[in-house]
Amino acid sequence: MTSTQVHTRARGALGGLLAGLGFFGGIAATKATEKSEYPRPGTPPEEVQKYFTESTTAARLSVLGHAVSVSGLARFTGTVAGLAKRAGKGSGALRAAALTGGGFAVATQMLSASSTLLLTSKDNHLQTTKDLREVSYHLGGHLHGVGFGLLTGALGIAGLRSGELPKPVAIASLVASPLGILGPLTLLKKQTMVALPIGHLLSLLVSGAAGVTLARGSRPRQLTDGSAKAADKEETS
């Protein structure tokens, strides 16, 4: 593998770490600048509107953090798809799952952040505020979790099959996956909604850990020189 290939691979893999840094950085910046407590689901639209018009800077910093996170997640999706190619039998379906899940996670997070940005307008009617808040919440929570869960599931399976991820990281990915994929079912019972942030947190953590590992360019011992060269070729295609 050439130095250019190594550099390209590292940048893509470290997108997993960037996704977490952007997300948590956005939360920290929001907490540091907001003027009141962030509205929880079910908060009256009057209070939601008051928060987003009074804490405009906090809301925009949150959007910025999400933008950084989405950028990292998009790059990491490509890395997981590349890892799936090296996973042996069923690699095609696994790669499709990674690209579909990652793409869906990126799209829903972008739309959620856009809705949050629109909430900062002082010209919004209460019904508009209510609708935007619901769109932002469901897209960035339940639906985003489905895509992210599918991506982390593909990451875990590909990591185990290829041997390129430490087993604890791969298994943690498989644990996080159903928490995200089944997230919409928590709408049926409010007491189960705690699974959403847990699943998202775990997915971000395993993505960061996997990204750092893959960025180091480790190879599974069972790969022959020929298959290693083929894998390198796939990564640059």
pLDDT of residue 196: 86
Residue 11 has pLDDT above 80, yes or no: no
Residue 148 to residue 197: CA distance in whole angstroms: 12
The reported pTM is: 0.85
- The CA-CA-CA angle for residues 22, 82, 76, to 5°, reads 5
Report residue 227's pLDDT band, with 50, 70 and 90 as the boundaries.
very low
Residue 235 has pLDDT above 50, yes or no: no
Show the tokens assigned to 30.
Answer: 């929001």
The mean-pLDDT minimum among 25-39, 118-132, 223-237 falls in: 223-237
Interval 76-97 mean pLDDT: 94
pLDDT of residue 6: 45
Interval 96-115 mean pLDDT: 97
Interval 174-190 mean pLDDT: 90
Residue 165 to residue 84: CA distance in whole angstroms: 12
Q: How far, in whole angstroms, is CA 26 from its chain's centroid?
A: 14
Residue 80 has pLDDT above 90, yes or no: yes
Residue 145 has pLDDT above 60, yes or no: yes
Show the tokens assigned to 165.
Answer: 């991820």
Report residue 10's pLDDT band, with 50, 70 and 90 as the boundaries.
low
If DSSP codes are grouped into helix, strand and coil, which group holds residue 30?
A: helix
Angle between the N-to-C axes of helices 45-54 and 126-138, in degrees from 0 to 180, rounded to the nearest 10? 80
